[in-house]
Structure 1
Amino acid sequence: MDFLGDSNAASAMDVVVFVQEIIETNPKLRVSAITRLLDTFYQIRAGRVCSCALWIIGEYCLPQSEAETGIATTKQCLGDHPFYTVTEDGESQDASKNAQPVSSVTVSSRRPVILADGLLASQGNLRSLLLSGDFFLGAVVACALTELLLRLEEVQSSKVEVNKATTQSLLIMVSMLQLGQSQFM
């Protein structure tokens, strides 16, 4: 799975299709493959590969812990929202550039990767793909989050946690819609 972030999109696509096949045909390997996919998701650079990986996450994150981790990983890779802000002189810019420095953030025991400007490295690729205008990927993000939320609703006993995750996911979806309607794009 280290090749998911390969700059050659064709080879990365082959890897993600292979991962999907392994997860589908070998139930014993499903948990370890999903865990590894979630760990390496932030490295994916190509939109098609990211779309396939999100589909796999949405489809195969079955237990509560995997669904929660899938939602958290997606949110972390998207970064802060809104995805853009309008400056005083009327120019739009990526809102993550205005974020305050972060000293340390972890999501489900993953090691944080902090860049020199204080941003998490893991929030770059998915966010930058959306900011480049890949709105098919935005639709896949929305579908994957919806699948994960529906699965979380089935297995989570705390309705408060489900409502919190649903609200955060809807905020992400609304931010993506606002980005698509903005003049920034």
Structure 2
Amino acid sequence: MKSTAEEIASLWREQMKRGYLKLAILFVLTKNPSHGYRMVKDIQGFTLGLLTPTVGAVYPALNELEKDKLVKGMWKEKGKKKVKVYEITRKGREVFRKAVEKHLNLVSATQNMILKELETLGIIKKNEPSPRIYMQAVKLLLLNEKAGKDEKIEALEKLKDGCHQLKEALNTMIENIEKRIDDLQSSHKNTDNNAQHIIANCK
């Protein structure tokens, strides 16, 4: 039985989400130590519902991360029961940062590919600078809680500038799209008029 394009795309999406689970766990632990059940909720919150892991998926991932010494777990009393609380190690923080950098490089390459296609369609101009708001937002999230006030303000200012650039770029893109639509409609109208003129002359 052949899969539809929608089914294949959905499968790829699920595979990518599973690949991001370990990265999401490390991100959550850069903020505070946590246990599996809490991580599930935190990951859903931080990713705005894009990742919705189950406890059954989180704990095997935690075991692998602990085996690689990227996190370490400690049993702690919580009421009348014990829970295993995990915290990220120094090696885990380094791996997390490296993984994010590689991901940003991949995003940048994909973005450039899309921008070139938009240039071909006349939606954006060649070599037009694109806002790096996504990368700036990620770098802001990566700031350690111990980062100084000035460093945080600088990161927020850069993110704000990126938002302004994004707004301007989107407005320009909308104008170019509208112009492209008008050109196509005018071209189609002229073609119809020419066809009618030819038909009239043939009568």
Q: How high is the TM-score relative to the length of structure 2? A: 0.29
Q: How high is the TM-score relative to the length of structure 1? A: 0.31
Looking at secondary structure, tell me which structure has more strand per residue: 2
Looking at secondary structure, tell me which structure has more helix per residue: 2
Which is bigger in relative contact order (C-alpha 8 A, separation at least 6)? Answer: 1
Larger radius of gyration: 2
